[in-house]
Amino acid sequence: MKLRLQITKDQDIRFISHLEYARTIERAIRRAGLPVAYSEGFNPHMKFSLASALGVGVVSKAEFVEIELAEPTSPLDAANALNDALPRGIQVLAVDAVENSAAKLMSVAGGAEYEIFLPYDKDMSTAVEKFNAATELTYEKAAPKARNKVKLIDVKKFIPAIGLTAANGVVRLHFHCKITPSGSMKAVDLLNTLNQYYALELPINKADVRRLDLYRSDEDGHIWPMLDSIYKSTK
């Protein structure tokens, strides 16, 4: 049996990396005493995985972890035990259980919903309108480890439209970003794209990025939750 849980990455710990987040969950699983399955061999590793990597600094209400168990257990009890074993800053929101042969959660995620808050006192509505009307926008992203190499990101393929609200010198961008079998794009690169195309000079370093949801989707654009039959945790 595999447990699937929806967990958070709250504000206080938003700056821990994906690897640190994963290791924290691994230790929490151990502390919770869940009957987790291990691989064989000299360096046995715990069989668990996260549905998608979250950028450093991004807050999330929708991280999903899948844990393979060596023996079945009550999902709700397991969720409560795990919740108690997690640090402040990670909470279990929901739990589901599937058979071991079920497809990995990582492979079923189809999209994510984000909001970004940003201190910015100029009007950017025209830029957002242009973005929404554009059919194709390509962002040239410098490849992090290779010099003189760029990765071309077809932004509109991932993010078709942005919603914009502004108040008190802070803008809020709201959008959905597709996750495809060949990858996705980082929420923060949307800001880079907007700066590149519309010369907005958005202060990207100050962006407060939050993932609101992660979900499954099909080619027709239907979306549905990551977990099938959700037992809400009592906490």
Q: Is 144 in the site for another protein (CB under 8 A)?
A: no
What's the rounded Cα separation, in Å, for the pair 71 and 6?
A: 21
Residue 184: CB minimum distance to another protein, A: 20
Contact 55, 208 (CB under 8 A): no
Contact call for residue 85 and another protein (CB under 8 A) = yes
Identify residues 192-221 at the interface with another protein (CB under 8 A): 203, 205-208
Q: Does 17 bind another protein (CB under 8 A)?
A: yes
Give the distance between the most distant pair of CA atoms in the chain: 59
Encoded one letter per residue, x for contact with another protein by CB under 8 A and - for no contact, window 156-195 reads ----------------------------------------
Asked if 27 is part of the footprint of another protein (rule: CB under 8 A), the reply reads yes
In whole angstroms, give the CA distance from residue 130 to residue 2: 45
Dihedral sign computed on CA atoms, order 170, 171, 176, 179: negative
Task: Report DSSP state, residue 149.
Answer: -
Shortest distance, CB of residue 44 to another protein, whole angstroms? 5
Query: What is the closest distance, in whole angstroms, from the C-beta atom of residue 187 to another protein in the complex?
Result: 13
Q: How far is the CB of 64 from another protein (least distance, A)?
A: 19
The count of residues interacting with another protein (CB under 8 A) is: 34
Distance CA 187, CA 209 (A): 7
Q: Measured from the CB atom, is 38 or 224 closer to another protein? A: 38
Candidate residues 40, 43, 144, 148; the one interacting with another protein per rule CB under 8 A: 43
Residue 230, classified by CB atoms within 10 Å of its CB into exposed (0-12), middle (13-18) or buried (19+), is middle
Nearer to another protein, 87 or 160 (CB): 87
Is 82 a residue that touches another protein (CB under 8 A)?
no
φ, ψ for residue 29 (rounded to 5)? -60, -40
The vertex-175 CA angle with 221 and 149, nearest 5°, equals 95
- By C-alpha distance, which of 97, 191, 92 is closest to 139? 191
Q: Which stretches of the chain bind another protein, using CB under 8 A?
A: 12-17, 20-21, 23-24, 26-31, 33, 38, 42-44, 46, 56-57, 85-89, 203, 205-208
